[in-house]
Chain A
Amino acid sequence: MTATSSAEGQFGLVRIAGHLAAINGEIERMLGLGLVPERKAADRLGRALDEMWAMSQLLAETRAEVVGLAPPSTDLGDVLDAVVVETEKAAFEILRQAERAQAAAGRLHDGTSADPKHDLEAVNEAATAIVLACGFQDITGQRVRKVLSTMRQIEARVSALVELMGIRPEETRAQQAATAPAGEASLLNGPSSAAEGGLGQSAVDDLFG
């Protein structure tokens, strides 16, 4: 999720809430008009008023739920962007140090080292630097856990709203099927676990022939 999509999502929720509030206002105005009905239509209008009251209450409850869906102040996009930057920075540092160690070890192995003691120290220093660079996992792990916690809160709120609005699971599945990517785009899924249908190298080799 990017910072932009997060902001757009929040803006969308605010718009939905605004629309619902407007509908609620319209109904309440109609109810006001209904307080001075013609006598002949009194019974029918009374039933209509009951229906409208119920609708008004439902919309008010829905609006409250939608407002409650607004994401927490933490910007998930920025947090995940930071994880990407930190992991890339750490990977480059680890690669840089590994290549430094490989070069020194290569010179020692080939007998071309001008200063064997210095090259041995370089290997040791590179190994220490790699160990330190792995500290990124602690920081990124905390960031990812923070995002996961927020996502679970949002998931629970969305589920509550779906239930409140009476949306059936089969409707959700039909909507997902209708918007699923087709053709080659459907092949872009990223890493998949075995449970998701991902294959290991040996299974791929068997399939590839």
Chain B
Amino acid sequence: MKILVVDDYPTMRRIVRNLLDQIGYKDVEEAGNGVEALEKIKGHRYDLVISDWNMEPMTGLELLKNVRGDAALAKTPFIMVTAESKAENVVAAKQAGASQYIVKPFTAETLKAKIASVIN
């Protein structure tokens, strides 16, 4: 399964990549913001996108809307992993089509469970 991890902090990308490796997902690529991620998603097929929200020049929410707005990409599972933990954020992400929502800091068990729920 090919996974794209999107976060502007290299440390967080490395943490998520490490956890994915522990869970058993080895085919992982990274992007540092929404623009970079969208270019990758349009060029390759990913089975799952795990994205931060607060990034520039394109946020995770904008990336999500772009993915859902493109018929060829619309069904890609998309998990938002973010420190934005207010109810309005969760509602906005759900309305935009997020498959799951994980609040930072999170555990390996949470990540594993959310991936399982969107893959199944």
Q: Do A201 and B89 form a contact, CB below 8 Å, given A95-B15, A99-B18?
A: no
In this assembly, does B71 line the interface, its C-beta being within 8 Å of a C-beta of chain A? Answer: no
Question: In the complex, are the beta carbons of B90 and A208 less than 8 A apart?
Answer: yes
Which of the segments B23-31, B32-40, B43-51, B100-108 contacts the partner chain? B100-108
Interface string of A93-118 (1 = CB under 8 A from B): 00100110010000000000000000
Q: A207 contacts which chain B residues (CB < 8 A)?
A: 87, 90-91, 94
Q: What is the bound-complex CA distance between A190 and B103, given in angstroms?
A: 11
> Smallest Cβ distance from A108 to chain B, in angstroms?
16
> How many of chain A's residues touch chain B, expressed as a range?
20 to 34
> How many of chain B's residues touch chain A, expressed as a range?
20 to 34
Closest to B61 in A: A184
> Smallest Cβ distance from B77 to chain A, in angstroms?
14
Find the residue from B22, B85, B89 having the highest chain A CB count within 10 A: B85
**8 A Cβ contacts from B67-120 to A:** 83-92, 94, 98, 100-104, 106, 110
Q: What is the bound-complex CA distance between A99 and B14, given in angstroms?
A: 10
In this assembly, does A199 line the interface, its C-beta being within 8 Å of a C-beta of chain B? Answer: yes
Mark B residues whose CB is within 8 Å of A: 10-11, 14-15, 18, 22, 53-54, 59, 61-62, 83-92, 94, 98, 100-104, 106, 110
Given contacts A102-B22, A197-B87, 17 further A-B contacts (CB under 8 A): A88-B11, A95-B14, A98-B18, A99-B18, A184-B61, A187-B84, A187-B88, A188-B59, A188-B84, A189-B86, A189-B89, A192-B85, A199-B86, A199-B90, A207-B90, A207-B91, A209-B94
